Amino acid sequence: MLFMKGSPKEPRCGFSKQMVEILSKHGVAFSSFDVFSDEEVRQGLKTFSNWPTYPQLYVAGELIGGLDIIKELEASGELGAICPKVQKLEDRLKALINKAPVMLFMKGNKQMAKCGFSKQILEIMNNSGVDYETFDILEDEEVRQGLKSFSNWPTYPQLYVKGELVGGLDIVK
C-alpha cells in the first residue's frame, strides 16, 4: 500500500510522482491511499510509522520506507525481491481459464445470471450434470476485455474445458 499525496494518476507532489514512477517501472503491484483525503489518517500514520513524511510504502503491513529508501532498494536491485509484481494479464487469464476443468466466463454466476444468454447457458450446464466453475466478467473489466482478445471470441458467455475454448452459447447448444 502506498500512502501518498494524490493518486497514482494525479500525484500532488514530486516525491509521490517519483515513487509511482519507480514502482510502475518495476512492475510492482500496489494500491494507494491519498493522505490528503483524511487528515486523521495523514497525521496518525506519521505517528504510527514513526516516519514524518510522505509517500510511505508498506508491503504486507510493514513499512518499507519513503522515496529515499525505495531509491536505495532500486539501486541495489532489492526492490523486486521485496515488492509483489503485477501479474501479467495473459498469465492471469490462463490461470483463471485453468482454475477448474470446466470454466464458464459469464455475466453473473452460478446462482444468478445477469443476462439472457448467461441464463440459457447456466440451464444447459446445470441440466448436463457437469461440474463447473464460473467467473463473473462484470466484476472485472480487465478480464472482460482481455479475454475477448485472448480467446479471439468477442462475446460472452465463453466456455472452456481443460483450458481450451469450446465457444459461446450457440456452440454449447
pLDDT in tens, 16-51: 999 999 999 988 888 899 999 999 999 999 999 999
What percent of the chain is modeled with pLDDT above 70?
99
Q: Tell me the average pLDDT across 90-109.
A: 95
Residue linked to cell 514513526: 50
pLDDT at 53: 95
Is residue 26 within 8 Å of 18, Cβ to Cβ?
no
Q: Compute the radius of gyration of the chain from its Cα atoms.
A: 22
Q: Which CATH class is domain 2-82?
A: alpha beta
- Domain ranges in the chain are 2-82, 89-171
Fold of 89-171: Glutaredoxin (3.40.30)
- Nearest by Cα to 138 from 117, 152, 160: 117
Q: What is the mean pLDDT of the chain?
A: 94
pLDDT over 80 at 87, yes or no: no
Q: Tell me the average pLDDT across 89-93.
A: 88
Same fold, 2-82 and 89-171: yes
